[in-house]
Amino acid sequence: MFLDPLHAPQLDRQQHIQATLTPEALVPPPPLPPSVFIGTERPGLESANRDWSRLDPEFVAAVLKIFARLESRGYPFALLEGYRSPERQDALADSGALVTNARAFQSKHQYGLAIDAAPLRNGRLVISEKEPWAMDAYLALGEEAERAGLTWGGRWKLKDYGHIEAAGAIRSRNRRPSVSG
C-alpha cells in the first residue's frame, strides 16, 4: 500500500502506522511460454504445475523475495514446478530418473510448501548444475533460501539444487493437501 502524504490526515492513527509499516507485496512473474519447458533434461516438465495460487501464500512471499534478491545478484530464476498432485508425485518417484524418492504426501509439493526452480539465461532455462554459471546460481539460491529460513535441497543426500521448501515436518504445519488438481 502506497501512503499518499496528502491523505494521511484522513486515516486514523492506527491505519497510518499500519500503512507506513506494511511493505509492498511482491507479485509472481508472468508465466513463461510453454516452449521454454519443452525438451529440457527434466522429464515431464512441460506438464508441471506452475500456478503460484496453488502454493501457501506465506511461502510464496518468501520465495518471491528470494527470487528478487537472486535477480539483483544476476541470477533470474523461473518456477519449474510448485504444487504437485499425489499422482504426479508417485509417477516421478516411479520414473527411475532419480527426480525424487518421496511418495505421495511425503513431499511438501502436495501441501503447497515446496518449489523447484532453475536459473534463466538469455530467456532459456539452464537446469544442469554441470554448467558452471548455473551451479553458481543454484548455490546462490541455497544461500538465499537458508537465509530466509527455508530448506534447500542442495544439502540433501540426493542433491536437488533447484528445490526449496518450508522448514519443519509436514505434520507440524497442520495443513491438509489440496487433492483436487
| Helix intervals (H) in the chain | 13-21, 57-72, 86-94, 132-147
Where along the chain do its domains lie? 33-173
Q: Which residues contact 120 (CB under 8 A, 6 or more apart)?
A: 76, 77, 78, 126
Cβ neighbours of 11 (radius 10 Å): 15
Cell numbers for 137, please give them.
Answer: 546460481
Q: Which CATH architecture has domain 33-173?
A: 2-Layer Sandwich (3.30)
Please, is 34 exposed, middle or buried when counting C-beta atoms within 10 Å of its C-beta (0-12, 13-18, 19+)? exposed
Half-sphere exposure of 178 (CA within 13 A, CB side): 14
Q: Using a cut of 0.85, tell me whether the model's pTM lies above it.
A: no
* Each residue's pLDDT expressed in tens, for the chain with a length of 181 residues: 444 444 545 555 665 555 556 556 789 988 888 889 988 878 678 889 999 999 999 999 999 999 999 999 999 999 999 999 999 999 988 987 677 888 999 999 999 999 999 999 998 999 999 999 999 999 999 999 999 999 999 999 989 999 999 999 876 444 555 444 4
